[in-house]
């Protein structure tokens, strides 16, 4: 017996995005329509300039579409005001970047706590949440270390803990293994797979690396702003 289809957590409809260069309009995404099931690990692939990061930023509410709609969970992201969008991002999107974006003068725990400063949690509760997710990513014994005292792979795991600490609806990852050696990349990808399988998170990852994409449950390819399903 096959499993019933999972409900969609992301719905993209007729999405278009262009950028201006002088008087010229450069289309990046063209009438994209697709959905992402809840609890999926999706890899977005394609050549440079194909629109992968632009699409990721639109889904995460960092950028604005020219037309079309994006729904994440029950929220029509494309209709939110700037203030509502900022609040929504803080509570519903976890971010993982290629270069970690950790603050060097803060410890691992303090870096993970940062998103929680936008919540009503007390200092003790913030600390407890941060310590819990650092334990989850295998860094319970490194929480008082500064980024400069950690390897690249460990820093990326801190970044993943920071992405998880608010219990987000989706996690978006832009080239999360691009600055790592292969062994560290495998550890990070295994951790992201665990986020999906054990925590039920939905992960959307942009990558150029076919080996990283193999870890995902589904692959979609962008070519000149048009999407095709994998492999």
pLDDT in tens, 186-197: 999 999 999 899
Name the percent of the chain in helix, strand, coil, to the closest 5: 40, 30, 35
- pLDDT tens for residues 17-34? 998 887 788 889 999 999
Domain 39-61+85-229, CATH class in plain words: alpha beta
- pLDDT tens for residues 144-165? 999 999 999 999 999 999 999 9
pLDDT at 35 over 80: yes
Q: State the pairing for strand pair 75-76/67-72.
A: antiparallel
**Where residue 229 falls among pLDDT bands split at 50, 70, 90?**
low
CA distance 113 to 120: 13
Q: What average pLDDT does range 197-217 have in this prediction? A: 92
Residue linked to tokens 């970047």: 97
∠ Cα 22 222 169 (to 5°): 100
**Where residue 3 falls among pLDDT bands split at 50, 70, 90?**
low
Per-residue confidence (pLDDT) for residue 164, from 0 to 100: 92
């Amino acid at each position: 017996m096959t499993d019933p289809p999972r409900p969609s957590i992301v719905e993209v409809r007729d999405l278009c995005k262009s950028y201006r260069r002088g008087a010229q309009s450069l289309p990046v995404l063209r009438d994209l329509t697709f959905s992402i099931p809840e609890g999926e690990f999706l890899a977005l692939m394609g050549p440079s300039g194909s629109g992968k990061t632009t699409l990721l930023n639109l889904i995460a509410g960092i950028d604005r579409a020219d037309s079309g709609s994006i729904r994440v969970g029950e929220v029509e992201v494309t209709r939110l005001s700037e203030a509502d969008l900022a609040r929504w991002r803080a509570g519903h999107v976890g971010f993982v970047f290629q270069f970690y974006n950790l603050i060097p003068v803060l410890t691992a725990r303090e870096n993970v706590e940062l998103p929680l400063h936008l919540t009503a949690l007390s200092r003790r509760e913030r600390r407890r949440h941060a310590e819990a997710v650092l334990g989850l990513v295998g860094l319970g014994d490194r929480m008082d270390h500064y980024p400069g005292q950690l390897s690249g792979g460990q820093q990326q795991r801190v970044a993943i803990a920071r992405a998880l600490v608010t219990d987000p609806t989706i996690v978006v990852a832009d080239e999360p293994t691009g600055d790592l050696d292969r062994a560290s990349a495998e550890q990070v990808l295994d951790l992201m797979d665990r986020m999906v399988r054990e925590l039920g998170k939905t992960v959307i990852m942009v990558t150029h690396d076919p080996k990283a994409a193999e870890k995902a449950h589904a692959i979609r390819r962008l070519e000149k702003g048009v999407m095709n399903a994998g492999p």
